[in-house]
Structure 1
Amino acid sequence: MFLIATELTMIRFMSAMAALFLMALPLAAAETRVFEAANGLVEIPADPQRIVSLHDLSITLPLVEFGGVDKIAGSHGRVDDQGQPYIRTVNTLFGVDYANTDIEFIGVFNEIDLERIAALEPDLIIGRAGNDDKLLENLSKIAPTILIDVVGLDYFGRMHAVADAANLTDEYDRRQALYELRIAESRRLIPNAKDISVSIIQPWPKDGYINGSRTYYALSQVLDDIGFSKPQVIADITDKSGDAEFSPEFLPELDADFAFSTYEIANSDQASPQQIRDAFEALIPGFCDIVHFCRNHQLAILPRSPIYASSFRSLEIANDSVLTHIVGREFVPFRKN
């Protein structure tokens, strides 16, 4: 009898422990923490599993890069000429898109579908301060919503904020360390970078101006980290976007030892390097004879999407492009008249 009673007691004890364990599971799943975002202190899941991203380049891309594909329930995207949605740059750098994942399309810029977001039952929504503020009140009714300060934070700060919110900082730290090693090697190869000027410019003939960029996502970050200088008119850009529009007569002020411009396959009138050259020529006839960097074959026209994005892969591509076009070659230094 004693043995039977003891066995019954043990069974009841184990049953009680199992019940307590099952009761604790939702509590563990609901563990939260306070996140400091541009929109204040927000209580978010400690390890979110159903994230909605309101921007492909600055939020979805780092989430994917840091190993969070399965955490993304929905993402902002673009629509191609055939009407098919895609996740810009994420699809080309990592092969991740709506068609081959469970990520749902939630709309394009300024046309985010709140009902579609609600249907996804997200546990965290990540947007950008200055872009998504008008949606904040309604989004916060759906799930905890944080806005990343994309203007106040620097390139790495923005990526780290996304990684932190998604509980993916270990992979961020690993990639950050690798990037620092690559940049150290680039500085070794170009010890005189401060004496070399580089201009980032883009022609827009239909609008009648040349865009000069002080910041250009991964490309400008790499140039700055290596230590190159800029034309003064570009260094003096104060607009928060990091860009400024220059009329064609300002072209001599944008001249430099080297220049980078970009083409974008998704833009039918800027889909190749030759189209970019033609665009410059349309703005300034005889363009290549006027500016030093073109006259001396020191203009590089790169694919835009891989380097106009927030990711360590983008930084690697930008670094390799800079090394390819500047290191190990003779060039004609620019001397301003």
Structure 2
Amino acid sequence: MISSHVSSFAGLPVVPFTPGMTLPDDPSAVAWRLEVEDFDAEPEEFAGLMGAMRGQVPADAVRALVIGEWGEAYERPLPIEPLVEAAGAWTGLRAVFLADLTYEQCEISWLRHGDLTPLLRAYPALEVLWVRGAQDLRLEPVRHTGLRELRFESGGLPAEVVRAVGACELPALRRLDLWLGRSDYGGDASVDDLAGVLSGVGLPALRHLGACNAEIADAVAAALATAPVVPRLEILDLSKGTLTDEGAKALLAGQPLTHLARLDLHHHYLSEEMAASVAAALPGVRVDLSDPQTAEDYDGTLHRYTAVGE
């Protein structure tokens, strides 16, 4: 559940753009938010809003951009074509957040996207890319030397996207967050699909890895026990998923984790005894074991849920 919009992005306060508005004294010191007010607006309305911004905000002042409602987000993919077309003018754009919508506007699993590859190719100096939602999301493996932070928030991240991220060459990327999600919301990635990410081959600078909100949290934890990427990490985030004692045991039985600064396991299904064992095994690591969950028994079958689904 996403209940509020971001108030800051890429270290800048978010300011909504409206045609004819009085610009801030320093229009480069804000993250501009573009959003149409009508949830069923036609595509021309969003394109017109972006055109008005291009005409009013100096091109060299556009540093960060947050895209909100674009009209019928549950039926029509977010239009990145106007963003791609603006690349020749917005040469200073360094951070983009696609689809900062709340659940009241559109459930995260309904948010539609298309192919993100043209956006990355159009902005080789882009440093931060956040994407919320993953319905119909596509990505081709690319080499991008500018990207430092990549974040996919979803109720279910397609396996093809996970594999594409692992096949990318991102030499500057320091933070990667993948909300893997649930199979019934399109999260069909397996541990095998994570192989490229866990190898770390295309991610030599990675220091923060999030494999979050995962229905397959136990399998991910077991794979991380021997993953080559782990020794270089400072932060490992397995939060919001369905981690149980089985996954935690496998993680602790693998390679050392004492080099980590933080291990985030909040929203988990660990027993009190196992939670205590994890904390005791990593005395120098900040371990977040908050928000413990209890499996629900339906007709003799235990059900565990990720924090974010629909």
TM-score range, shorter chain: under 0.3
Q: Which has the higher helix share?
A: 1
State which structure, 1 or 2, has the greater radius of gyration over its C-alpha atoms.
1
When normalised by structure 1's length, the TM-score is 0.22
